[in-house]
Amino acid sequence: MKRFACERLLELLVLFVPLAVLAAPREEYAQQWPLTLGRDGADAYRVTLDESVYRQLRDPALADAVVLDRNGVAVPTDVFAPEEPLAKSAPRVALPWFALPATPAGSTAQGWELVSQADADGRLRRVEVRTSDAAAAALPRNALLVDLSRVHEALSALELQWQPLESLDLGYRVEASDDLEHWQVLATRGRMVDLQREGRRLLHRRIELYGLLPQYQKARYLRLTPDRNDQSVAITGVFAELAARTATAPEWIELTGRSVAIHGNSAGAHTAFEFDIDGRFPVQQANVVLPGNHAVEWTLESRDSDDADWRHRAGPWVAFQVGSGGAGSADAQSAARELGGIVRDRHWRLRASAPVTGEPLLRLGYRPEVAVFIAQGDAPYALAAGSTHARRAESPLPQLVAEMRRQRGEEWQPAPAYLGTAQVLAGDAAVSAIRDWKSWLLWGVLGLGALAVAGFAITLLRMSRPLESPREAPAPAGDAESR
């Protein structure tokens, strides 16, 4: 029993220190962003990182970003390239919908009013239809209110499903709203057709939304009103087809620098310019902007710390702009330079081959990555980021995504989630190189606890050794003869 207890304590000791290091509380991070889930009940979610997140990150591998559940417990999280967790084709998403009575024929008033209850983000929790006359109460409820408040991507089409019926040929008017009070008729119409003849079936379920203005493709609510009220149809589901995704356009950070003298430069003792960037942006492109017409040959370098060597990133290349300032003339500008990979360095330097007039502006381009997390623990979730010492635990999410696609098909992908407004946690204290006395005290207590467990285990191990019995001394030869 003692040996068994000792083995259990040793196992706890092995697990104790790693868990203490990895299970960092909210106070170990600078900020958090509450997450809005694109739909309920998904196994995994993906959230696109934005500039505010990158500016808090300190670890070059982005290990100081993790998703926490309601109780502040970290859930399995990993960071992917923008296109990695996405399906190859546009996915379909089931939408919440509510049946409404149609407008009475020959009447400009709809004969009913809508009473709704929505969350702060616009998601409809309850919809109640109150009829104001008998004619409206007798109408079939074949109009639809579709809730798009949790879909942030542009839509290309809606697809309706209904219970089987003998025949259906019904047109729909489509309106959009962001507040359920003011509606805008869209320049598109839907027609639901389900006809059968001689064993053949004609079926059309789609309402095309592609080509609408962006504000209407991303409206919070859509209302579908039938052209006539003499045909009843029992809708069973509404699905959205998201617009096909294209390559993510780069986002740009503009940096102003300071001039520095470089001694021993083979190109001459010309002035160079140094720039600092706050955060761990995945920089892939660079460009230089100067006022007026110019053509300058540049070389771009970077490093991650003040005492590190500068590393070549691009060039020499000629950045130019001509035609600016002329009436009616179009500017001709040089294209951005590709860096050949992702660079997350904090310090950048531009060197010119000749003297430069004016202060250059360094533009760094990046494509936002995505954090994928498992829906583990209790919602709501929040993304926490920014720490000089807290690191998330490693998780096999790339293997999980591959396995989910093997089991559920290549079209499977994590459901979308969206960043809310940033909330300060530990703030600057979390990203400071010097940890405060409370942190040191916490880690000291954890260390003493580990040593105490180790000492207790060693004591039990010694006590569990059996006592050795003394060996008998050999009998003298004379005694043996006498016997």
**Do you find a cis peptide bond into 140, omega within 30 degrees of 0?**
no
Strands (E), 81-234: 92-94, 97-100, 112-118, 124-131, 143-147, 155-162, 168-177, 184-197, 200-204, 206-208, 221-226
Is 158 within 8 Å of 206 (Cβ atoms)? Answer: yes
Q: Is the pLDDT higher at 85 or at 471?
A: 85
Checking if the pLDDT of 294 tops 50, the result is yes
Place of tokens 């996915």: 91
* Predicted confidence band of residue 384 (pLDDT cuts 50, 70, 90): very high
Is 145 within 8 Å of 98 (Cβ atoms)? Answer: yes
Checking if the pLDDT of 128 tops 90, the result is no
| All structural domains of the chain with their residue ranges | 2-85+376-431, 92-242, 251-366
The pLDDT of residue 324: 53
The pLDDT of residue 243: 73
- Report the C-alpha gap between 334 and 316 in whole angstroms: 13
- Greatest CA separation for the chain: 136
The pLDDT of residue 197: 86
The pLDDT of residue 261: 80
Is 279 within 8 Å of 386 (Cβ atoms)? Answer: no
Q: State the average pLDDT over residues 103-107.
A: 57
Residue 299's beta-bridge partner residues?
351
Q: State the average pLDDT over residues 337-355.
A: 93
- DSSP string covering 101-118, please? PPPPTT-SS-SEEEEEEE
pLDDT tens profile 181-213: 888 888 888 889 999 888 888 999 988 886 655
Is 201 within 8 Å of 167 (Cβ atoms)? Answer: no
| Other Cβ atoms closer than 10 A to 349 | 20
The pLDDT of residue 346: 95
Checking if the pLDDT of 87 tops 90, the result is no
Looking at residue 326, its amino acid is G
Checking if the pLDDT of 458 tops 80, the result is no
Reading the block at residue 199, the tokens are 């064993």
Q: What average pLDDT is seen over the chain?
A: 79
Query: Comparing 10-14, 141-145, 239-243, which segment has the lowest mean pLDDT?
Result: 10-14
CA distances from 133 to 102, 103, 288 (A): 13, 12, 68
The pLDDT of residue 275: 97
The pLDDT of residue 327: 47
**Do you find a cis peptide bond into 226, omega within 30 degrees of 0?**
no
Burial of residue 373 (CB within 10 Å: 0-12, 13-18, 19+) is buried
The pLDDT of residue 7: 44
Task: Tell me what percent of the residues of the chain surpass a pLDDT of 90.
Answer: 35
* Predicted confidence band of residue 124 (pLDDT cuts 50, 70, 90): confident
Checking if the pLDDT of 85 tops 80, the result is no
* CATH topology (fold) of 251-366: Jelly Rolls (2.60.120)
Distance of CA 216 to the CA centre of its chain: 24
* Predicted confidence band of residue 238 (pLDDT cuts 50, 70, 90): very high
pLDDT tens profile 366-379: 999 999 999 999 98
Q: Which CATH superfamily is domain 92-242 in?
A: Galactose-binding domain-like (2.60.120.260)
At 457, which helix (H) or strand (E)?
A: helix 437-463
Burial of residue 417 (CB within 10 Å: 0-12, 13-18, 19+) is buried
The pLDDT of residue 15: 41
pLDDT tens profile 19-65: 444 446 788 999 999 999 988 888 899 999 999 999 999 999 999 99
Looking at residue 121, its amino acid is D
Place of tokens 């000792």: 6
Looking at residue 341, its amino acid is G
- Report the C-alpha gap between 93 and 96 in whole angstroms: 10
Place of tokens 């019995």: 469
Reading the block at residue 48, the tokens are 């696109």
Sign of CA dihedral 71, 76, 79, 81: negative
Q: State the average pLDDT over residues 415-419.
A: 92
CB within 8 Å of 312: residues ≥ 6 apart: 299, 300, 301
The bridge status of strand 251-256 relative to strand 332-333 is: unpaired
- Report the C-alpha gap between 41 and 19 in whole angstroms: 29
The bridge status of strand 415-419 relative to strand 44-48 is: parallel
Is 177 within 8 Å of 223 (Cβ atoms)? Answer: yes
pTM: 0.70
- Report the C-alpha gap between 165 and 170 in whole angstroms: 13
The pLDDT of residue 483: 35
